[in-house]
Amino acid sequence: MTDQQQSQQHRPRLWAIGGGKGGVGKSVISSGLAMALAARGERCILFDADLGGANLHTFVGMPHPQHTLSDLFSHKANTLEEILLPTPFPNLSLISGARAQLDMANPAWLQKIKLIRQLTTLPADHVFVDLGAGSSFNMLDFFLAAQNGLLVLMPTPTAIENTYHFLKASYYRRLRQVIRHFEAESLVDAALAEKVQSGIRSPKELLLDLLQRDPLLAKKLQQAMNKFTPKLVVNQVQRSEDRELGGKMVTASRDFFGIDMGEPAIIRNDDRVLIALKARRPVLEMFPGGPFAEDIRRLLSLMFPVKEKTHGQG
């Protein structure tokens, strides 16, 4: 095996946790999943991509970090690995976004691409990217770079609206990338020019129309888009209606986009989360048997069974 093959074999799996809305629990879920995997013996890194309000260090019980992304942006450090911090927990490290400079919240395109590339070379089995609020191109591109994308929402009207907007923006950004990659612009333009006559009202119907126009090219587009399968996570669930919300969103996404998100994950409301946050301790450490900890481990088992071998996936 060549050095390049070995490098590719040991690239970490990227997880991106987003959803558009702030305050829905992305950070506590990111840190919870990372801690649960680290407890299995997997090498995990938390990457705080909320460059406008980074506080992920608080969720793993760390004081203000000595090294952050500011060091990289100010050229005090050259790579992400140089600012990698150990946490109090085995197999778990942190790249903090604290002390962000004003221009860090919207890094230039080349800076963003450099960050994404470096994430795939970090010495870990898993890297969890905790995204900030909003649906900017930077947030979308971090989300699309991951093998596992989680959309977190709470059962509130604003969170539902923001999550759907984030999903829609992610889908269309990926679709544009795929169309450009396969040089299918003229085919898509022709279909959209006749969308009224063709009855095209959704991305799903667009791809079906393209199959009639150019089956070979359309199948390539469809196969590429079928890889876009984010997982929906409904957080702070209290009532049966809250549980049903996830299923409704999954069905709507399948009917409109043709996206198969599978069964939504449910995280029950747990007052222990706030208690742990006030104590500046991780929920899974302080309340390992609580509902939140149980649901995090269940979500992890669904997405990444214990029997599955993790090393060498990229």
Residue at 309 is within a domain: no
Q: What is the pLDDT of residues 222-247, one digit of tens each?
A: 999 999 999 999 999 999 888 888 89
Q: Are residues 128 and 277 in the same domain?
A: yes
Nearest CA to 282 among 98, 53, 46, 20? 46
If asked whether residues 286 and 206 sit together in one domain, one would say no
Flag whether 18 is in a domain: yes
Q: Report the percent of the chain where pLDDT is more than 70.
A: 91
**Are residues 99 and 60 located together in one domain of the fold?**
yes
Q: What is the pLDDT of residues 65-100, one digit of tens each?
A: 888 888 888 889 999 999 999 999 999 999 998 765
Q: Same domain, yes or no, for 12 and 99?
A: yes
Residue 17 sits in the same domain as residue 118: yes
Domain contains 195:
yes
Residue 296's domain comprises 3-153+270-303
The reply to whether 243 falls in a domain is no
Whether residue 135 is found in the same domain as residue 11: yes
Listed in sequence order, the residues at least 6 apart from 230 whose beta carbon sits closer than 8 Å to its beta carbon are 143, 149, 150, 151, 167, 170, 259, 261
DSSP 230: P
Q: Whose structure tokens read 């799996």?
A: 13
How many domains, the chain? 2
Are 224 and 143 in contact by the 8 Å Cβ rule? The answer is no
Q: Is 52 inside any structural domain?
A: yes
Q: What is the pTM of this model?
A: 0.90
Report the percent of the chain where pLDDT is more than 90.
68
| pLDDT attached to residue 101 | 58
In a domain, 314, yes or no: no
Per-residue pLDDT tens for 16-55? 999 988 889 999 999 999 999 999 999 999 999 887 677 8
Tell me the torsion sign for CA atoms 161, 139, 219, 302. negative
Q: What is the CATH number of the domain that holds 136?
A: 3.40.50.300
Q: 216 and 178: one domain? A: yes
